[in-house]
Every structure is written in C-alpha cells, then in structure tokens.
Amino acid sequence: MNGHTPVTHSYDYDLIVIGGGSGGLAAAKEAAKYEKKVMVLDFVTPTPLGNSWGLGGTCVNVGCIPKKLMHQAALLGQALEDSRKFGWQFTEAVEHNWMTMTESVQNYIGSLNWGYRVALREKKVTYENAYGEFVAPHTVKATNKRGVEKLYTAERFLIATGERPRYLGIPGDKEYCISSDDLFSLPYCPGKTLVVGASYVALECAGFLAGLGLDVTVMVRSILLRGFDQDIANKIGEYMEEHGIKFIREFVPIKVEQIEEGTPGRLKVTAKSTKGNEIIEGEYNTVLLAIGRDACTRNIGLDKVGVRINEKTGKIPVNDEEQTNVPYIYAVGDILQDKLELTPVAIQAGRLLIRRLYGGATSKCDYVNVPTTVFTPLEYGACGYSEETAVEKFGEENIEVYHSHFWPLEWTVPSRDNNKCYAKIICNIQDNERVIGFHVLGPNAGEVTQGFAAAIKCGMTKEQLDSTIGIHPVCAEVFTTLSVTKRSGESTLLSGC
C-alpha cells in the first residue's frame, strides 16, 4: 500500500471521500495536509418525516452531540431539585421548555456545520452536497438535490457513509413514528412517549425524556444493551424503573395507528408478545423507534466496482488497513464489519489510514480496549471485556471480578440513590491479575473511564491499581480500594465516606 508506483492515469482527484461524517471529514482534512487533491461528497437522504441536516454526519447532527446536551438538560433538572437541600430557595414551580432547549441545541449544531465547511475550504478540500455512487472503476456519479448529475474520477476512494435508523416494517411505522434522526429537532414537546428498543440509543433517549418530566415507556423485545455487560445493563434498567420509566418486556409492536392529528397527536400502538399470542394496546403522543441501525452501503453502486459486502448486514469486510477487496477502495466507521460503531474510532481509523497512504506511516487503528460511555440517567462507562465475554474467553476459574457499590458525596445531602452507583473490574488471574475489563455506573462515567482507559492500554494490573492513591472525595477513588471479589459473595454495599 505504501510506496505504490506512480499512476499513469489522469484522475480528477487523488482521493474522493463518500460521506461527510466524523470519519470521512477527519480523513479528508488529513489528506489535505499532504497536499493531495481531495473531494468530499455528502448527502443526507431526508427521514420519512422529511428531516435532514448539514455537514458533519450522525454524531454532530443527530447523535452524540444533541444527545449529550439533552442528557445535560435532564441532569440540570435533577440538580435544581437537589439544590433545595443545599440551601437554594426558589418558590416558582420549575418547568421545562422543549422549544428553548431544541432551539439552543440546533443553534450550536448549526455553528458546527458551518465550522466544518469553513475548515474544508481553508484546507482546499472540494465539498459537494451531493449523493455519491460508483458507476465504473475509479468513477463516481454525484447527484445534487436538484437532480443534477456529475461524474468524477479518483485514484483512491474512501467510503464513510455511516448508518441510518432501522424501521420495524409494520403498518404505520414510517408514517407515524419518529427515530433519533427526528427527535433532536422535533418542533414540539413529544409528550407521552413510547420508546421501542433496548439499544443504548433507546435507553439514553428514554432517560433524558423522563428527566425532562415526560411520561416514558420502553418496549423491549428481549435483553437490555445487547453486547454490553449484562450485570450493569440490568442495574441500569432497575435504576430507570425506580425513577419512573415504565418497561414493557418481551413485546414487539405490530401496528401503529393515528387516533388524532396534532403536535403531538395521539397514536394507538398494538403489540404482540414474543413468548406467545398475547396482544396489548397502548395510547401515546409519540412513538420513538430505536431498534438498531443499517449500514448505508446498498445504494452506492458497490456492485458496479466489485466491493464485497455482508449480504445480511450490509457491512463491509476490510483488512487490518481498512482496505476492501478492491485495492483502491477503503472504508471506515460504522459500516465496517465486526468493528466498533463509535465516532472517535472512525476519526482515528480515518486519520491513520491517510497517514499510511500518503505519509509513509505504519500505525494501524487499534480496535481493542476502546472506552465508551452510555449516557443513561445513571451513566455507564466501560473499557475492555464484559464479564460474560471474559468468562467465555478465559474461563470462569481464570478471572477475578472485584466490585463495589458507592455513593457520590454530592448525592448524600439530598439523600438520594444510595448504593446505586457501582464499580467493577475484571482481572485475568493467569496474567498477573491484569485488568481486562473496567465498568463504572455513576455520574461523569465518561470522564472517569477515559482516564482509566489509558492505564488499561498500558497493561494496568490490580496491584498497580491498589498502589495508586485515590483522590478524596471523588467517585473514581473507589477503583483504588476494591477488595471484595464476586466469588466471595460478600456484600458490596457501602456506608459513610
């Protein structure tokens, strides 16, 4: 891949990036540093309800950024409640204004969209708001929103098209339901909401909607947070239920009907048991589908150039250098088969790919021990193996699980949620009790996990963790004093500081 022979063809561009999300933009800007001629094609196909957005991809427009801001809005509501016990006095009832929040969030996102366009222009990257699809080897067709088509050629291509929310394929789903692609710019308060799904998107959205004071129900087909540590996933579910979120388990919707138009209107949802023939009905103002996402790879002409995809999932298999089976075509981000669907992963993979292609570098993206956080009301940070996967890979007798509950000092005065926060590490006994899994359930879980992730990457052992002096009084110090093993069956409930 490095030191390739000079190309005798004359192409329009050195690199064309299809998809202007986190991975695509990072790669395009990196390639511009090597004075390559780069084009980015980005086009957002509107949602069934007609919503679309600007440059920047899912994370910025309809993902991590608006999600975290709305999660923060919910946390502020809780902080207001707590503040009375800390002596703050205010008499008027506290109310939340949905429109003020969405307008503020959308204004911030708009500033990011503009910033991306400016950055591309400054780096002399050509940007076209057009739908890119392969039509022949080394050739793409770009179609803009007016239907004007242009052909471009390039020596290399990077596919970074990401994913979009999946629909149920039942009567009324696309007509009456919304997805995360619609929620963050919804021009009215959603009211009584049914969230369908058990993914982190489902639970995060359910969490902040409930935190804003709405009546929220989550309909779950089977388990919560598939792929995450199930011990923690169940604790998240319990916490959400204790805080007023209702769960309907082992049911799936089979029909959504409109009872009344409006903003919001009224919808009737009919659902069927996954265990039998029981049918239930419920009435809601809004139905939010969060049942998974599909890779945007089936309608970009990959068959015309021979790029293989997983027929079932639409995901693209690549080698350890993000190269597809067609040597001049690469892919990064959520569309990759068996890789993590996380913004920082796409950015890292995109940058490192470009440095290998044009800068003579050799570093490859490390997809192991990647930290992540689920922004449920009680945040969940994780890095490394879940308990189930560790047992499966190393054997139960070869792992030691240390765990403890903890009570954030900030929560003691308002006297809430004692022993709901939880810390757990999984160690490989055969490898000097190296920490192979890190899990924290509590406030600022992402901030805590990010720091420990670096230590885990360096091969941190339990002994090193024990010899680290904690900072008092903070939540993260619990990891420096973990002594109770799961195997022992001893209580992990704490009292005092």
Active-site residue list: 472
Compute the C-alpha angle 483/488/491, nearest 5°: 70
Q: CB within 8 A of 373, min separation 6: which ones?
A: 379, 380, 381, 382, 445, 446, 449
Q: Residue 406's closest CA among 369, 378, 376? A: 378
Q: What is the DSSP letter of 461?
A: B
Residue 244 has phi, psi (to 5 degrees) of: 95, 0
The phi-psi region of residue 378 (left if phi > 0; otherwise alpha if psi is between -120 and 50; otherwise beta) is beta
Q: Which residue has the tokens 């049911």?
A: 251
Strand 126-128 with 38-41, pairing: parallel
Q: CB within 8 A of 147, min separation 6: which ones?
A: none
Q: Which residue has the tokens 């007016």?
A: 146
Cis previous bond, 6, omega within 30: no
Furthest C-alpha separation in the chain: 76
What the block records as the tokens of 466 is: 């024990």
Q: Residue 181's closest CA among 267, 294, 282, 99? A: 294
Instruction: Give the whole-angstrom CA distance, residue 485 versus residue 497.
Output: 20
Let me know: does 423 contact 439? Beta carbons within 8 Å.
yes
Let me know: does 223 contact 328? Beta carbons within 8 Å.
no
Q: What secondary structure does DSSP assign to 368-420, as a single string?
A: SS--EEE-SSS-EEEEE--HHHHHHHH-GGGEEEEEEEE--HHHHTTT--TT-
Q: Residue 71's closest CA among 63, 82, 81? A: 63
> Helix, strand or coil for residue 161?
coil
With 0-12 / 13-18 / 19 or more C-beta atoms within 10 angstroms meaning exposed / middle / buried, residue 439 is buried
Q: CB within 8 A of 385, min separation 6: which ones?
A: 393, 426, 436, 437
Compute the C-alpha angle 81/84/88, nearest 5°: 125
Instruction: Give the whole-angstrom CA distance, residue 149 versus residue 133.
Output: 11
Neighbours of 4 (CB within 10 A): 11
Residue 225 has phi, psi (to 5 degrees) of: 50, 60
